């Protein structure tokens, strides 16, 4: 039987594309997730917790490891081993803490000899660390051979002011009552059955909403409550689980209270 | 007629929609930031339509560039085969024109409907350019129609006007590309705005951002490569299904020209890529480092494999093509050496810097970098490999070009010696800076790639500057036997088209993915449910799906175009097929070429 040319060419093309696809699926799979925001302001944090949080920022959101190494000389940026003690002697007139903070917020102010002036300001987009995160990162760097003595007040209040980027939604005053909304969350709404919200709830069925106001807009939340399927499902969670009847079961006031509560979760 | 109606409908829809955008944008301000596209989600919908649109757009912008050059060759030499070939190429473009416009309109609808706040923001910056885009689109449509349908009407003494229309349509097409590129490059490297993201002064500052010109150049060259590979694949398909020797000869020649165009542009594409990469680093070091050394680092290994396939495939096609050229036997001895260089270059380029290994293996090896192979995973080795592959491919082309020709010039020995010296010197410069790069800081090393590139380009210029006069009026060892090439060569052409299309999808993912969780980098954050930038496997599945859809659509459109031609055989508007009986020699000497086909009346 003579195989038509179109079939042969089609099969050949599919084999070629299939090979590329198979290979692409065989190598390490790395996603780039939007960084979660850390908020420590007003909280009681021990130095050890602060250093741990700072280490995570160093390795993730801060993207420091792209250029810096600890205990290994880099070609783009200095080795940070011992920076906690070395920093006090690097720039005359600045303590270790002051030097580290200046390096993070104004990296061009003093550049270590032999390295290019390429470090971005960490509190500005695209890295965009907030004030708490700069605090934790400073603590972590101090811990590398030095004493952790940085306080939140040492970090300028202007740090991270434009962290979300110029296109971020403006602050909104919502008409609902957050306290009443919290009660809806735990009671009538039944949200607590699937979601965690700060200290409330612990169920892993749905996404953790503890910092939802940091990453979502009020209009998204309002739509998600009324039309869960239409607003999309967060990747990694099963579709169609969230009930679609809140528009019928909640009153208008309860609905607004719930949204106001969710918008306090930062 | 139906095709014209579809195109007209698409143009009217686009022109009607564009003036309404400010009103839509105002409405969008009151609306949610995002809506969810049914079933597959908004991101996949935009991804699929954008990739399809860009595939078609690249084809219809790339093919006319070389079609008009081929038409000029036919016009100046009086060889009707080139005129026929140019018409065939434009015919392919023409069939895809309306599909491109419809996909563009669909993409616009998706942005307005599913990303209203993002589109509002983009409109606040780029609204003046929308009108320019619409007017250019209209001008290009009009010019291409007159160019295609006026082929016979503007022949003979009016051929110059016809060629002018072809040039004009290319100028309009390129201008459209520049406008659209300003939007997409602003998303990568925004400029001309204040801290709040608002336009500070003229829109020109936003247009002329860091990556705009590099992407203009890179896309323009890539479009020519893409157009060449698709046209060659079309010819291959027709070759494989040909019923007569004459038909086979004709499409063998068409495939050769398509591949020649693709290869010529492909050789300089890596240089445009370097320029783009350098500008990304200049705009933002973090972005550049994330792209090359961050979560996207493995993407470049796949890119290396695809480019390796393109290099090896192109060379293999040339070597197979030499089999149908009498006199080429004397160059066969070079083939094993060239295979060796290409294979070694391919392996170097595809060597990752860090290995995927277990902890025990890493301990045994002393880290994630292999003690020997790790040295091949860095840019010094890769730049050296790709430059050597470019030189080798160029050598293949030179040997193909002179396969059935023997120079009769008295200075041939000196000329050959200078040519070999130029190639040898370029190879030495490339290897020297490749090795020296291991002993200097990265900032110095980056500058070495410029010397390597310049050495290769200089060698190409010198060799061709000598080759053209040296083989003018050369003695022929026989005519090219068009149509007698091995059928497997046609599968190589299809392999090249599929690979390059897939590569375009991959590079589109890279360009978009380096923004990570930003719609506009550092300015407008992606707060949607799709803010995660997916891993390479997920992207590959998507690229393959869309590429299959693209080829299915292309086959369908070409089939439709073929139906139309069958119905009008013998009528005006279609170039009569020139005679290829026995195979003639398009690339050979003047005296062996002979038997020119009569010009169309």
| Digit-coded pLDDT (tens) for B346-359 | 999 888 776 666 66
Query: What is the per-residue pLDDT for A108?
Result: 85
Instruction: Please give the pLDDT value at position B224.
Output: 92
Cα-based distances in Å from B11 to A77, B5, B325, B391:
53, 10, 47, 45
- Which residue of chain B has the CA closest to A128? B522
Q: Look at residue B579 and tell me whether its pLDDT is greater than 90.
A: no
State the average pLDDT over residues A71-92: 84
Quick one: pLDDT band at residue A80, thresholds 50, 70, 90?
very high
Residue A29, pLDDT score: 84
User: Of A25, A32, A116, which is closest to B295 when you measure between CB atoms?
Assistant: A32
Closest Cβ opposite residue A217 in set B33, B518, B548: B33
Query: CB contact, 8 Å: B40 with chain A?
Result: no
Cβ within 8 Å, pair A17-B529: no
Mean pLDDT of chain A: 82
Size of interface A-B (CB pairs under 8 A): 184
Q: Are the CB atoms for B69 and B167 separated by under 8 Å?
A: no
Q: Is the pLDDT of residue A253 over 60?
A: yes
CA B419 to chain A, closest CA, distance in angstroms equals 37
Measure in Å the smallest separation between the Cα of A46 and chain B Cα atoms: 31
Query: Residue B9: its pLDDT value, please?
Result: 57
Cβ pair B561, B6 in contact under 8 A: no
Chain A residues touching B197 at Cβ < 8 A: 165-167
Average pLDDT over residues B227-242: 92
Please say whether the beta carbons of A97 and A156 come within 8 A: no
Considering only alpha carbons, which residue of chain A is nearest residue B529? A234
What percent of chain B is predicted at pLDDT more than 90?
A: 58
Per-residue model confidence as pLDDT tens digits over B120-161: 999 999 999 999 999 999 999 899 999 999 998 988 889 999
Q: Is B442 on the interface with A (CB under 8 A)?
A: yes
Q: What is the DSSP string of B91-115?
A: HHHHHHHHHHHHHHHHHHHHHHHHS
| Better-predicted residue by pLDDT, B439 or A239 | B439
CA dist B430 and B456 (Å) reads: 8
pLDDT of A116 > 90? The answer is: no
The mean per-residue pLDDT over the stretch A56-64 comes to 85
The predicted pLDDT at position B570 comes to 44
pLDDT for residue B568: 53
Contact list in B for residue A69 (CB cut-off 8 A) is none
- Give residue-wise pLDDT tens across range B273-283: 888 988 888 88
Of the CATH numbers 3.80.30.20, 1.10.760.10, 1.10.1660.10, 1.20.1730.10, which one belongs to the domain with range A47-154? 1.10.760.10
Q: Which residue has the higher pLDDT, A128 or B585?
A: A128
What's the pLDDT score for residue B14? Answer: 54
Angle at which helices A5-26 and B299-322 cross, to 10°? 150
Distance CA(B501)–CA(B230), nearest Å, equals 9
The answer for B 129-188 residues in CB contact with A (under 8 A) is none
pLDDT bucket at A223, cuts 50 / 70 / 90:
confident
Note whether B193 contacts A: Cβ–Cβ < 8 A: yes
Select from B298, B548, B551 the Cβ nearest to the Cβ of A28: B298
Of B525-534, B570-579, B585-594, least confident by mean pLDDT is B585-594
Interval B24-64: pLDDT, tens: 544 544 567 888 899 899 999 999 999 999 999 999 998 89
Output Rg (C-alpha) for chain B, integer angstroms: 25
* Alpha-carbon distances, residue A146 vs A59, A86, A247, B357 (angstroms): 20, 8, 56, 35
Same fold yes or no, A47-154 and A178-262? yes
Averaged over B488-508, what is the pLDDT?
A: 96
Instruction: Classify residue B199 by its DSSP letter.
Output: B
Residue B469 banded pLDDT, cuts 50, 70, 90: very high
Mean pLDDT, rounded, for A56-81: 82
Per-residue model confidence (pLDDT) at position A10: 94
Closest CA to B501 of B456, B551, B466: B551
Higher pLDDT, B378 or B214: B214
- The pLDDT-based confidence of A252 (bands split at 50, 70, 90) is confident
Tell me if A264 sits within 8 A of A172, measured CB to CB. Answer: no
What's residue B601's pLDDT? 28
Mean pLDDT, chain B, integer: 85
In chain A, which among 67-106 make CB contacts under 8 A with chain B? 67, 75-76
Name residues whose C-beta falls within 8 Å of residue B49's C-beta, 6 or more positions apart in sequence.
B103, B106, B107, B110
Contacts with A237 (C-beta within 8 Å, 6 or more apart), sequence order = A205, A206, A207
Q: Which residue has the tokens 């190409």?
A: B460
pLDDT of amino acid B103: 94
Going by the DSSP 8-state scheme, the letter that residue A152 receives in this structure is G
Three-state secondary-structure class, residue B533: strand
Q: Does B541 touch chain A (CB under 8 A)?
A: yes
Give Cα separations from B445 to B290, B379, B434 (angstroms).
19, 9, 9
> What homologous superfamily is domain A178-262 in, according to CATH?
Cytochrome c-like domain (1.10.760.10)
Query: CB-based contacts of B518: which residues, under 8 Å, 6+ apart?
Result: A125, A126, A165, B524, B525, B526
> B569 in contact with A at a CB cutoff of 8 Å?
no
Put simply, whether B529 touches A (Cβ < 8 Å) is yes
The full set of domain ranges for chain A reads 47-154, 178-262
> What per-residue confidence (pLDDT) applies to A214?
62
How far apart CA A68 and CA A90 sit, in angstroms, is 17
Inspect the interface and report whether the beta carbons of B240 and A9 lie closer than 8 Å: yes
Nearest one of B114, B93, B102, B126 to B22, comparing CA atoms? B126
Residues forming beta bridges with residue B405, ordered by sequence position = B476
pLDDT tens sequence across A152-170: 889 988 887 655 444 444 3
Pairing mode, strands B518-520 and B524-525: antiparallel
**CA distance readout (Å), A171 to A174, A214, B362:** 10, 11, 49
A28 touching B, CB under 8 A?
yes
8 Å CB contact between B546 and B52: yes
The answer to whether A167 contacts B529, with C-beta atoms less than 8 Å apart, is: no
Asked if residue B439 has pLDDT above 90, the reply is no
Going by C-alpha positions, the residue among B221, B232, B238, B235 that lies closest to residue B260 is B232
Measured in Å, how far apart are chain B's first and last C-alpha atoms? Answer: 24
Pick B261 or A215 by higher pLDDT. Answer: B261
Which is higher by pLDDT, B234 or A175? B234
Which residues 6+ apart lie within 8 Å of A184 measured at CB?
Answer: A191, A250, A254, A257, A258, A261
Query: Is the minimum CB–CB distance between B247 and chain A shorter than 8 Å?
Result: no
Q: Answer whether A141's CB lies under 8 Å from A80's CB.
A: yes
A9 pLDDT more than 90? yes
Looking at residues B330-352, what average pLDDT do you find? 91
B540 with A21: Cβ contact below 8 A:
yes
Q: Chain-centre distance of CA B423, in angstroms? A: 26
């Amino acid at each position: 039987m003579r195989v038509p040319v179109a079939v042969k060419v089609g099969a050949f093309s599919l084999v070629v594309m299939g090979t590329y696809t198979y290979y692409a699926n065989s190598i390490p799979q790395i996603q780039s997730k939007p960084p979660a925001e850390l908020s420590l302001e007003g909280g009681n944090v021990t130095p050890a917790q602060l250093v741990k949080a700072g280490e995570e920022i160093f390795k993730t959101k801060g993207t420091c490891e792209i250029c810096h190494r600890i205990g290994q000389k880099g070609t783009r940026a200095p080795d940070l081993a011992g920076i906690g003690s070395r920093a006090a002697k690097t720039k005359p007139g600045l303590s270790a803490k002051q030097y580290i903070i200046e390096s993070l917020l104004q990296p061009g102010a003093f550049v270590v000899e032999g390295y290019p002036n390429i470090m971005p300001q960490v509190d500005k987009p695209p890295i965009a660390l907030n004030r708490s995160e700069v605090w934790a990162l400073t603590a972590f760097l101090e811990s590398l051979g030095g004493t952790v003595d940085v306080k939140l007040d040492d970090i300028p209040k202007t740090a991270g002011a434009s962290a979300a980027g110029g296109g971020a939604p403006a602050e909104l005053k919502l008409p609902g009552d957050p306290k009443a909304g919290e009660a809806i969350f735990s009671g009538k709404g039944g949200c607590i059955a699937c979601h965690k919200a700060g200290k409330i709830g612990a169920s892993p069925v749905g996404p953790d909403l503890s910092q939802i106001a940091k990453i979502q807009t009020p209009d998204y939340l309002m739509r998600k409550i009324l039309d869960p399927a239409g607003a999309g499902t967060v990747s990694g969670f099963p579709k169609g689980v969230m009930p679609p009847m809140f528009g019928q079961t909640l009153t208008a006031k309860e609905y607004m209270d719930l949204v106001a509560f969710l918008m306090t979760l930062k | 007629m139906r095709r014209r109606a579809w195109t007209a409908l698409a143009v009217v829809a686009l022109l009607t929609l564009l003036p309404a955008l400010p009103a839509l944008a105002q409405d969008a301000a009151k609306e949610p930031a995002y809506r969810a596209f049914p079933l597959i989600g908004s991101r996949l919908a935009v991804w699929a339509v954008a990739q399809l649109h860009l595939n078609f757009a690249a084809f219809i912008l790339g093919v006319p560039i070389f079609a008009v050059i081929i038409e000029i060759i036919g016009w100046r030499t009086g060889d009707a085969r080139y005129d026929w070939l140019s018409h065939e190429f434009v015919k392919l473009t023409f069939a895809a024109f309306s599909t491109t416009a419809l996909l563009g309109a669909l993409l616009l609808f998706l942005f307005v409907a599913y990303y209203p706040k993002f589109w509002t923001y983009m409109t606040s910056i780029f609204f003046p350019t929308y009108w320019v885009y619409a007017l250019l689109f209209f001008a290009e449509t009009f010019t291409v129609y007159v160019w295609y349908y006026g082929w016979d009407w503007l022949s003979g003494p009016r051929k110059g006007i016809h060629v002018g229309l072809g040039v004009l349509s290319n100028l309009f097409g390129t201008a459209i590309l520049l406008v659209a590129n300003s939007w997409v490059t602003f998303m990568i490297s925004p400029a001309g705005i204040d801290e709040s993201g608002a336009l500070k002064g003229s829109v020109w500052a936003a247009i002329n951002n860091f990556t705009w010109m590099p992407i203009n150049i890179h896309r323009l060259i890539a479009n020519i490569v893409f157009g060449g590979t698709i046209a060659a694949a079309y010819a291959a398909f027709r070759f494989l299904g040909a019923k007569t020797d004459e038909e086979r000869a004709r499409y063998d020649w068409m495939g050769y020209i398509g591949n020649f165009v693709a290869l010529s542009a492909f050789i300089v594409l890596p240089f445009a890529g370097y320029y783009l990469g350098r500008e990304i680093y200049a705009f933002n070091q973090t972005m550049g480092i994330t792209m090359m050394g961050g979560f996207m680092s493995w993407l470049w290994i796949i890119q290396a494999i695809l480019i390796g396939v393109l290099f090896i495939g192109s060379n293999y096609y040339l070597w197979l093509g030499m089999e149908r050229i009498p006199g080429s036997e004397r160059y066969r001895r070079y083939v094993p050496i060239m295979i060796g260089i290409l294979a070694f270059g391919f392996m170097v380029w595809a060597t990752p810097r860090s290995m995927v290994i277990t902890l025990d293996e890493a301990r045994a090896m002393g880290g994630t970098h292999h003690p020997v192979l790790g040295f091949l995973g860095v840019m010094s080795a890769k730049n050296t490999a790709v430059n050597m592959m470019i030189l080798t491919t160029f050598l293949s082309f030179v040997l193909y070009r002179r396969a059935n020709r023997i120079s009769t010039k008295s200075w041939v020995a000196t000329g050959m010696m200078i040519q070999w010296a130029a190639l040898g010197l370029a190879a030495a410069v490339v290897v020297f800076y490749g090795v020296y790069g291991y002993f200097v800081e990265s900032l110095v090393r980056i500058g070495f790639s410029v010397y390597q590139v310049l050495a290769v380009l200089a060698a190409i210029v010198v060799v061709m500057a000598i080759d053209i006069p040296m083989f003018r009026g050369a003695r022929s060892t026989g005519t090219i036997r068009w149509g007698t090439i091995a059928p497997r060569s046609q599968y190589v052409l299809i392999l090249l088209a599929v690979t390059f299309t897939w590569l375009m999808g991959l590079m589109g993912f890279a360009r978009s993915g380096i923004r990570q969780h930003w719609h506009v980098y550092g300015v407008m954050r992606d707060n949607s449910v799709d803010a995660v930038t997916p891993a390479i496997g997920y992207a590959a599945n998507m690229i393959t799906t869309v590429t299959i859809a693209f080829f299915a659509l292309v086959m369908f459109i070409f089939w439709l175009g073929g139906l139309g031609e069958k119905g009008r055989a013998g009528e005006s508007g279609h170039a009569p097929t020139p005679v290829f009986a026995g195979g003639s020699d398009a690339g050979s000497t003047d005296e062996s070429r002979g038997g020119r086909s009569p010009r169309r009346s």
